[in-house]
Structures are given as structure tokens and as C-alpha cells.
Amino acid sequence: MAAIENRKAITVGIFLSLGLIIFILGVFTLGGQQKSFAKNIQISAVFEDVAGLKKGNDVWFSGVKVGNITSIRFIGTSQVDVQMKVDQSVQQFIHRNAGVRISSDGFIGNKIIVIDGGSPQAPEVQAGDVLQAEKLTSTDDMLKTLQQNNRNLLSITTDFKLLSHKILQGKGTVGTLLADSLMGEQLRKSMQNLQAATTSAAHLATELDHFSNKMNTKGGFADKVLTDTVAFSRIKAAITQLQQAAANASTITDNLNKASNKLNSTDNAMGVLLNDPKAAAQVQSTLNNLQQSSIKLNDDLEAAQHNFLLKGFFKNRAKAKADSLKKK
């Protein structure tokens, strides 16, 4: 009897021990999953709409679960404060300018919070920091956008239906091109002319390229003009001389203009002779008188030669002149 009782006591003790071990393992397993025994920091974010987020939902960072939500409470008009517990081991990777957004664990899974790391230049997050929450695009907003897109698509298809109907009826430029064979032929000729013009332009470009190559040919005239400093100096000197010649010609022209102006005026002798008929007549009369006087003077000299008082003088002078010619 005592042996049976002892056996029962041992069996109960074994079962109790196994139960206690299982309980302890369960507590540590659940605590490990919830990171209850790991060191962590408390951070928060303020959302206008948490979209069904609940206490205990997970917090993810770079695709890794790093904590969970500890509390959700209202702090103002349409504002919800979400407190998060994050593993201290990832604190060095999360920066104070990190963003926080609400996402889903899978397509229709539980809501979770995703933390973006932020820029490395910013300091790392500290306990009690409030991270910047990103605005969540709700399902209603997406449906509204989808409805608006559907209305726009319907409007586009309706307009395209009307446009295609008009084209088939031959209305408009495109419809006319499709229905009018004459216009189609004209368009084809226009395209041919455009192609010919393009070919001509390409040929012109080729010729210009050849011409530029000739211009760059070593030893050519253009090359000497562009590269030979001596030739360039000579050309420059010739241009300078041409400029001087042009300046001299301009000066001569000015002088001739001044002379012609003086000839056209009556304030000088030549101008009076050319422009004053009365003075010209007087000069002509004076010349006539001089001519008549010279004729009379010749007659007087001839008469003096035959005068007996001067006849010997003229004979002696004529004789001396004849002797001089014989000596020569």
C-alpha cells in the first residue's frame, strides 16, 4: 500500500515538474517573441489616421521586426499618439529624421508600423523622441482616385469614339486624307519634295565639308592667310595702303570740289572770266587792243630800220650776227 502511494506521489511530481518546465519554456518563448526580456527604448509618432492599428502590433525596420506598439491614445483633434517599444540594439541605425508609416503585414494582414532609417548625418534616435509620421493613403482615397481615373478614361474613350466616327465619315484633315485620294496624292508629292530637299541639304552639307577641308589644306591660299603671319602682315599692310590711297583720293576730291566752287564764284579772276560775260568781253577787247598795238609796234620798228639815222646801226648788228654764224 505504501509502495502504491509512493508511486503515485512520484508520478504526480513528474507531471508537475514537466508542467512547470513547459510553463517556463512558454514564458521565455513568448517573451522572446515579444522581446519582453530585451533592453528597449520608447519612441512615439503622431498620426491623423491609424487605419485600424492596434496595441501589440509589430514595428518593423528594414524588413526586420524590432519592437511592438505599447499604447494608442488620442491627444488632440483627430490626432492619435502611438507609443512604440523598439529594441535598443537597432537604436544606432535609426536617426531622428526617420519617417514612420503604417503598412500591412501582407496583402490583407495585420497593420504594422514601418520605420525608415533617415539620413546618416542626423543623430541617432533617443528614448522619448517623436518621429515624423507620414500621411497614410486610405482605401477611400484610393477608390476616389480610381473612380476619377475611370471617369477620365470614359471621357477619353468617348472622345476617341467620336473622333474615329468623324474620321470614317471623311471629316477633318485626317478624314480628308483617308477619303480624298487627290489630297493623299498631293501629300505624297509633298513628302517626295521634302525628301528631295533633305537630300539636297545633305549634299550641300557634304560640299561644305569638302570646302572646309580644302580651306584647311596645308599650303593652300586660305591656310597661308589664316596661319602665315608674314602673309597676314603683308595683306594688312596692303589694306593700310589702300585705306591711305582712299583717304588721299578723298582729299583730292575735296580740293577739286573747292576749286570748282571757286571757279563757279565771282570773287576771283578766273571765276569772273568764266562767269561774268561783261568782264570776259572787256578782257577780249583788251587782248584785241594788245594785238593791234603789237602790229603797230612791228610797223614802227620796221620803219625805224629804214631810217637814215638808225640804218647804220642795224646793218652793223646784222653783219656781226653773220660773222658769228660763220665762225660756228
pLDDT in tens, 201-250: 888 888 887 777 766 666 665 666 566 676 667 777 878 888 887 787 77
Around Cβ 98, how many Cβ atoms within 10 Å?
A: 21
Confidence of residue 81 (pLDDT cuts 50, 70, 90): very high
Say if residue 180 is in the same domain as residue 246.
Answer: no
Say if residue 133 is in the same domain as residue 79.
Answer: yes
Say if residue 69 is in the same domain as residue 84.
Answer: yes
Q: Which one of 28-37, 80-89, 206-215, 311-320 scores highest in mean pLDDT? A: 80-89
Around Cβ 23, how many Cβ atoms within 10 Å?
A: 10
- CA neighbours closer than 13 Å in the CB half-sphere of residue 128: 0
242 assigned to some structural domain:
yes
CA nearest to 178, candidates 165, 159, 162, 190 = 165
Residue carrying the nine cell digits 570776259: 280
Q: Which residues contact 167 (CB under 8 A, 6 or more apart)?
A: 174, 175, 178
Please give the mean pLDDT across all residues of the chain: 76
Question: Do residues 101 and 132 lie in contact, with contact meaning Cβ atoms separated by under 8 Å?
Answer: no
Between 143 and 301, residue with greater pLDDT? 143
10 assigned to some structural domain:
no
Say if residue 120 is in the same domain as residue 185.
Answer: no
Residue-range definition of the domain harbouring residue 286? 264-307
Residue carrying the nine cell digits 475611370: 150
Say if residue 78 is in the same domain as residue 117.
Answer: yes
Say if residue 39 is in the same domain as residue 93.
Answer: yes
Say if residue 47 is in the same domain as residue 108.
Answer: yes
Say if residue 46 is in the same domain as residue 129.
Answer: yes
Say if residue 246 is in the same domain as residue 278.
Answer: no
175 assigned to some structural domain:
yes
Percent of the chain whose predicted confidence (pLDDT) is above 70: 66
> What burial letters (b/e) apply to 267-294, b meaning 16+ CB within 10 Å?
eeeebbeeeeeeeeeeeeeeeeeeeeee
| Number of domains into which the chain is organized | 4
